[in-house]
Amino acid sequence: MTAQIIDGKAFAAKVRAEVAQHVAQMKAAHGITPGLAVVLVGEDPASQVYVRSKGKQTVEVGMNSFEHKLDAATSEADLLALIAQLNADPAVHGILVQLPLPGHLNEDLVINAIAPEKDVDGFHISNVGLLATGQKAMVPCTPLGCLMMLRDHHGSLSGLNAVVIGRSNIVGKPMAQLLLRDSCTVTVAHSRTKDIADVVRGADIVVAAVGRAEMVPGDWIKPGATVIDVGINRIERDGKPVLVGDCDFDSCAAVAGAITPVPGGVGPMTIACLLANTLTACARANGLDEPQGLTA
């Protein structure tokens, strides 16, 4: 069997086009432009690339982008003051604080200072609780992107066995909650899981979010299963730097029914879902109908 490749780049372009259409309608019908504020503290090169890309794509879908670049030595009090200002600003519907923050800043404190309804990353403790209890939440972007691709591929996920490898707060746990909400039977595997190969072999859906290059070989995959590879790992191959996922692509693709590549799978969906979340936050803030198909 050779797996169908789930093209995250094309899917993300489709999501962005849908978001842009909703934004244009919102402007025309209500005179409202969704706004996303991104806060970057320090000079981390990878974070700078992400923030630039987020700002560019925000503008491309017709939203307002507000970028706040702060010095690496910014105090917690100053950062919290900026967040309070953004919370109170009616032109700002989504707030994202780029992680990781410099070591002297308490990430939990900072994230939980964001108004939950503007927390487009879905990391605020209120959104975590709302998601876990099946209520209307802001859902973390990467798992939301994975869910959209899975729903698109399978239609209904009801009754499928899903194994999520990784239990982080930003990917593994919210992914498991979303799959549970769509009536999958969910197992969460992690570094202490015994016989992980056997656990994964029972899965109709495998979501790998570990951060270990090519950890999942094809012989862990049930024939015909769907593999969503969240991992982004930079390794050297034949003396050249390459980007690989947590799954060994060739051997997994030979067994799976469908698989996301790295790069070009989950990655592009993450920013597309950030834009979708900002649109959703703006619709909710203004009492408008939420865009269909762009939320969990």
- The residues binding ligand NDP (CB under 6 A) are 142, 165-168, 170-172, 189-193, 196, 209-212, 230-233, 266-267, 270
Q: What is the CA radius of gyration of the chain?
A: 19
User: What span, in angstroms and rounded, lies between the C-alpha atoms of 167 and 181?
Assistant: 17
Q: Nearest distance from residue 171's CB to ligand NDP, in Å? A: 4
Peptide bond into 100 cis (omega under 30): yes
Measured CA to CA, the distance from residue 54 to residue 266 in angstroms comes to 15
Closer residue to ligand NDP (CB): 216 or 253: 216
Pick the catalytic residue from 57, 118, 119, 121: 121
Q: Residue 98 class from Cβ within 10 Å (0-12 exposed, 13-18 middle, 19+ buried)?
A: buried
In the residue annotation, 54 being an active-site residue is answered as yes
Q: Which amino acid is it at 125? A: I
- With b for 16 or more beta-carbon neighbours within 10 A and e for fewer, the 25-61 pattern comes to ebeeeeebebbbbbbbbbebeebeebbeebbebbeeb
C-beta closer to ligand NDP: residue 13 or 24: 13
CB of 75 to ligand NDP, least distance (A): 27
Go through 99-108 and write b for each residue having 16 or more CB atoms within 10 A of its CB, e for each that does not: eebeeebeee
Nearer to ligand NDP, 106 or 168 (CB): 168
Decide whether 34 or 267 has the Cβ nearer to ligand NDP: 267
Query: Is residue 240 among the annotated active site residues?
Result: no
The residue with tokens 């649109």 is 279
Residue nearest to ligand NDP (CB): 168
Specify the residue, 26 or 210, whose C-beta has the smaller distance to ligand NDP: 210
Nearer to ligand NDP, 53 or 286 (CB): 53
Catalytic (active site) residue 98: yes
Angle between helices 266-285 and 141-154 (to 10 degrees): 100
CA dihedral 264, 270, 275, 281 (to 10 degrees): 160
Shortest reach from residue 246's CB to ligand NDP, in Å: 6
DSSP secondary structure code for residue 286 in this structure: T
Residue 123: CB minimum distance to ligand NDP, A: 12
Q: How far is CA 87 from CA 76, 91, 99, 100, 113, in A?
A: 16, 10, 19, 21, 9
- Cα–Cα distance measured from residue 131 to residue 112, given in angstroms and rounded to the nearest whole number: 16
CB of 73 to ligand NDP, least distance (A): 26
Question: Minimum Å distance from CB 163 to ligand NDP?
Answer: 11
Among the listed residues 57, 98, 173, 246, the single catalytic one is 98
Residues belonging to the active site: 54, 98, 121
